[in-house]
Amino acid sequence: IISMSPLNVGIVGATGAVGKEIIGCLEKKGCSFPINNLRLFGSKRSAGRKIETCKFGNIAIELFSEEATRECDVIFLAVDGDFSLAHAENICKGDDGPIVIDNSSAFRYKDGIPLVIPEINAETTKRKKLIANPNCTTAIGLMAIWPLHKLFGLSKMVMSTYQAASGAGQPGMDELMEGTRAVLNGERDVAEHKVFAHPLPFNVIPHIDKFQDNGYTKEEMKVTWETRKICGLADDFPVSCTAVRIPTARAHSENIVALFERPVDLAAARKALEEAPGVKLVDDVENLKYPMPLTATGQYDVEVGRLRQNIAFDNALEFFVCGDQLLRGAALNAVLVAEAMVKNGSLKAKNAT
């Protein structure tokens, strides 16, 4: 733990899936910064409710107000984009405002606001007050891409995703579980659907978020836009994605074909992935070891495997990635951003001299 004055930490949206995981990360991960006080903020519906934590005791949820959050040193926003747009900049404004780390898409593409995966571009957080967390799909994939990009120089990327129901929040998970149960019990031939465009049990749906004019969905374009910004690539850098919802509960999977400027070396690629922080190489096909949602769920590291030279393109690698989208793709990434900002001096207690 870094020697410093303890921080007052706040979470807005503490009862949601990401908010709960942020609490879990602050408790279990062993943060590199000391915490003086953890405050949880919510809506009128959840205000007054008590959340039980191992490390911080029972915490009563406070009714959200910008004034109350500004008393903290750092605020994690685990809310939707509209809420963030309405409040994030007001919370962090001025020298006396806290650092705000926003999990929504509200500020990801705004100039001057860093979009951060700490293992890649932590330096962009220096002297900033508002930080955007990336889309979960991008965060998981780039953990594997970045060490290979440093080694061989990425020139193009094609990604296909296999995304869990919980990417659509608790309602998505409930619809999958209840629909599966109804079909297996013989209550229905095909499950009902409200959250997803079609029934998800015993199905896959090649449609996540709204379709854009170019035929891609917004989820797919998020991967393109965010890869460019996080990795410091050109605005027209070629990245293509197809995003598919599958009937698993948690952890997203991705197949990635990465083309490089320089000749690829499989042994060097394997070594780079083995040594990369936040990455676990799971690639022993003789013993049937490869990334899967079952093994990636609840894990902080992103699993990477099925690593091979692509036989259709020159200087290309193909591999499979699996990561817990609520952790690496959201809560864990946000906590790591805070740690990086403590280390670079951007985040400190207001009462620190």
Q: What is the pLDDT of residues 70-94, one digit of tens each?
A: 999 999 999 999 999 999 999 999 9
Stretch 288-309: mean pLDDT, rounded?
98
How far is the C-alpha of 236 from the C-alpha of 225, rounded, in Å?
Answer: 9
Min mean pLDDT across 33-37, 209-213, 250-254 is at: 33-37
pLDDT digits (tens, 9 = 90+) for 305-330: 999 999 999 999 999 999 999 999 99
- Band (pLDDT 50/70/90 cuts) for residue 350 is confident
Give me the chain's average pLDDT, please: 95
Catalytic residue among 136, 231, 241, 322: 136
Token reading at 96: 């006396």
What does pTM read for this prediction?
0.94
pLDDT digits (tens, 9 = 90+) for 172-191: 999 999 999 999 999 999 99
- Band (pLDDT 50/70/90 cuts) for residue 266 is very high
Token reading at 14: 């503490």
Residue found by looking up tokens 């850098």 in the block? 237
Find all residues with CB under 8 Å of 86, minimum gap 6, and list them.
none
* pLDDT, position 353: 47
Residue 136 appears among annotated catalytic residues: yes
Does residue 209 have a pLDDT over 80? yes
pLDDT digits (tens, 9 = 90+) for 93-126: 999 999 999 999 999 999 999 999 999 999 999 9
What is the three-class DSSP state of 185?
coil
Stretch 39-60: mean pLDDT, rounded?
94
Catalytic residue among 72, 87, 252, 322: 252
How far is the C-alpha of 91 from the C-alpha of 100, rounded, in Å?
Answer: 7
| Residue of 251, 267, 274, 257 lying closest to 332 (CA atoms) | 251
Does residue 3 have a pLDDT over 70? no
How far is the C-alpha of 6 from the C-alpha of 255, rounded, in Å?
Answer: 42
Find all residues with CB under 8 Å of 307, minimum gap 6, and list them.
266, 269, 270, 273, 281, 283, 317, 318, 319
What's the CA angle centered on 38, arms 37 and 41, to 5 degrees? 135
- Band (pLDDT 50/70/90 cuts) for residue 1 is low
Residue 87 appears among annotated catalytic residues: no
- Look up residue 125 and give its DSSP letter: G
Residue found by looking up tokens 């769920």 in the block? 297
Q: Give me the torsion for CA of 284, 154, 137, 335, rounded to 10°.
A: 90
Beta-strand pair 239-245/7-12: unpaired
* pLDDT, position 2: 59
How far is the C-alpha of 23 from the C-alpha of 35, rounded, in Å?
Answer: 12
Stretch 134-155: mean pLDDT, rounded?
98
Token reading at 192: 């009902």
- Band (pLDDT 50/70/90 cuts) for residue 169 is confident
Does residue 352 have a pLDDT over 70? no
* pLDDT, position 176: 98
* pLDDT, position 106: 96
How far is the C-alpha of 210 from the C-alpha of 265, rounded, in Å?
Answer: 39
* pLDDT, position 351: 75
**For helices 218-231 and 136-152, angle between their N-to-C axes, nearest 10 degrees:** 40
100: phi then psi, degrees, rounded to nearest 5: -120, 125
